[in-house]
């Protein structure tokens, strides 16, 4: 039996298929790991409402890391273990910048996403992050820009030039511990994401391991994208998906045969724990 005692899984592009489903075989492999005494949990870029159903199918009864480690929430009790949020002053300044650059904005709350009527065409993409969508006539009129304390990210979408210009403007105003990143969605749109930078999937892996009394070198991690890199570096053994970028593969210890059709949990269970 392996000396590794914990498995931390990314979701999209890793544990879930291209259709966003969990295969029965991977769910069965997770159950076999749990029966063998291996802790199984999740570190994802999704929000908790978009994560909990997967945790249930994987049998996770422990904290999971969501929004790239900015929150740890218990999978079964829904209790927030730790959270790192965007201050109201930063939200107000971000709102001004997004409006000035003509972008469609979103507020990612702990349990749902706020969007405006003009951005409803983005709902299918946003529902990957969370099925809980809160609609406003104009999202920039929503009180959550200056009220409440559960906003984990400020986001926007638009053309490349406007998004990059807004990102540069934000960089001049964001305090230490917050940062912005821009990337293209699977539909080709340019997406801007502002959230904490001190907490990532690497810090999440260490906290998740500590919660279970496991050392980081006893953890196996699996991922496929740039946000998985800190987690793969922190784990005792790490796997990149077959379709992962070269940068991710360079950080991981091994590359799986599994890709977007599922099978990652099955393959890791076999290669690490001989199950």
Domain topology for 88-196: 3.30.1240
The pair of structure tokens assigned to 185 is 């969605």
- How many CB atoms neighbour CB 228 within 10 A? 31
DSSP labels for the chain?
Answer: --S--EEEE-IIIIIS-TTS---HHHHHHHHHHHHTT-EEEEB-SS-GGGTHHHHHHHT--SEEEEGGGTEEEETTT--EEEE----HHHHHHHHHHHHHTTPEEEEEETTEEEEEGGGGGGHHHHHHH-S-EEEESSGGG-GGGTS-S-EEEEEEEE-HHHHHHHHHHHHTTPPTTEEEEEEE-TTS-EEEEEEESS--HHHHHHHHHHHTT--GGGEEEEE-SGGGHHHHHHSSEEEE-TTS-HHHHHHSSEE-S-BTTB-HHHHHHHHHH--
Sheet of strand 63-66, all strands in order from the earlier edge strand to the far edge? 63-66, 71-74, 80-83
Return per-residue pLDDT of the chain as tens, 275 residues: 589 999 999 999 999 999 999 999 999 999 999 999 999 999 999 999 999 999 999 999 999 999 999 999 999 999 999 999 999 999 999 999 999 999 999 999 999 999 999 999 999 999 999 999 999 999 999 999 999 999 999 999 999 999 999 999 999 989 989 999 998 887 778 999 999 989 999 999 999 999 999 999 999 999 999 999 999 999 999 999 999 999 999 999 999 999 899 999 999 999 999 99
State residue 188's pLDDT score.
Answer: 79
Q: Cα separation of 133 and 58, whole Å?
A: 25
Q: What are phi and psi of 242, to 5 degrees?
A: -60, -30
- Helix 88-100 / helix 160-171 crossing angle, nearest 10 deg: 140
Measuring CA to CA, which residue among 74, 67, 102 is closest to residue 178?
Answer: 67
CATH class label, 6-83+199-273? alpha beta
User: Counting every residue, how long is the chain?
Assistant: 275
State residue 1's pLDDT score.
Answer: 59
Q: Same CATH topology for 6-83+199-273 and 88-196? A: no
Q: Where are the domains of the chain?
A: 6-83+199-273, 88-196
């Amino acid at each position: 039996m392996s000396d590794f005692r914990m498995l931390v899984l990314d979701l999209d592009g890793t544990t879930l298929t291209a259709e966003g489903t969990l295969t029965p075989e991977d769910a069965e492999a997770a159950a076999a790991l749990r029966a063998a005494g291996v802790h199984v949990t999740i570190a994802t870029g999704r929000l908790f409402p978009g994560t909990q159903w997967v945790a249930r199918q994987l049998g996770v009864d422990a904290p999971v890391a969501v929004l790239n480690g900015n929150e740890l929430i218990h999978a079964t009790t829904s209790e927030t273990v730790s959270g790192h949020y965007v201050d109201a002053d930063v939200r107000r300044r971000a709102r001004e910048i997004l409006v000035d650059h003509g972008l469609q904005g979103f507020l990612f709350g702990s349990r749902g996403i706020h969007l405006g009527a003009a951005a409803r065409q983005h709902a299918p993409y946003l529902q990957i992050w969370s099925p809980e969508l809160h609609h406003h006539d104009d999202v920039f009129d929503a009180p959550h820009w200056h009220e409440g304390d559960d906003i984990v990210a400020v986001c926007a979408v638009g053309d490349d030039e406007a998004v990059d210009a807004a990102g540069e403007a934000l960089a001049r105003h964001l305090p230490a511990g917050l940062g912005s990143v821009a990337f293209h969605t699977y539909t080709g749109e340019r997406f801007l994401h502002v959230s904490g930078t001190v907490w990532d999937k690497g810090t999440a892996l260490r906290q998740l391991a500590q919660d279970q009394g496991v050392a980081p070198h006893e953890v196996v991690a699996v991922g496929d994208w740039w946000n998985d890199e800190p987690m793969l570096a922190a784990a005792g053994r790490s796997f990149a998906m077959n379709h992962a970028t070269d940068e991710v593969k360079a950080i991981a210890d091994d590359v799986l045969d599994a890709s977007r059709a599922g099978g990652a949990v099955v393959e890791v269970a076999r290669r690490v724990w001989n199950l």
